[in-house]
Amino acid sequence: MPPPLENEAWRLILRVPALSRERFAAALESFAEAVSFTEPDKAGLALIEAIANSPPNSGMVRASLALIAASAGIAEPELAVEKLPRRDWLADSQKAFAPFRIGRFFIHGSDFRGVVPAGTIPLAIDAGMAFGTGRHESTQGCLIALQWLSRSQAFARVLDLGCGCGILSIAAAKLWRAKVLACEIDPQAIPIARTAIQKNGLANRIRLAWADGPRRREPMRRGNFDLIAANILAPPLIALSRDLARALAPGGMILLAGFLRAEGVKVEMRYRALGLRVISRIDQGGWRTLVLGRSGRSSRLVPERRQS
Per-residue pLDDT of the chain (308 residues; tens, 9 = 90+): 344 434 578 889 999 998 888 888 888 887 887 777 777 788 888 888 888 888 889 888 999 899 889 888 899 999 999 987 766 555 555 555 578 889 999 998 888 888 889 999 999 988 655 566 677 888 999 999 999 999 988 999 999 999 988 999 999 999 998 999 999 887 778 888 999 999 999 999 999 988 764 445 555 666 689 999 999 888 889 999 998 999 999 999 999 998 888 889 999 999 999 999 999 999 988 889 999 997 544 443 444 444 43
Neighbouring CB atoms inside 10 A of 30's CB total: 12
In this prediction, residue 146 carries a pLDDT of 96
| Predicted pLDDT of residue 32 | 82
* Structure confidence at residue 185 (pLDDT): 83
Query: pLDDT at position 5, please?
Result: 39
Structural domains present in the chain = 7-89 (3.30.70.120), 132-307 (3.40.50.150)
Q: Provide the pLDDT for residue 143.
A: 95
Neighbours of 305 (CB within 10 A): 15
Alpha helices by DSSP H, the chain: 21-28, 58-72, 89-95, 137-150, 167-176, 189-199, 218-222, 234-239, 241-247, 261-272
Helix (H, G, I), strand (E, B) or coil at 39: coil
What's the pLDDT at 221?
A: 63
**Residue 233: what pLDDT?**
85
Q: Residue 113's pLDDT is what? A: 83
Rg (CA), the chain: 19
Judge residue 28's burial from the number of C-beta atoms within 10 Å of its C-beta, 0-12 exposed, 13-18 middle, 19 or more buried: buried
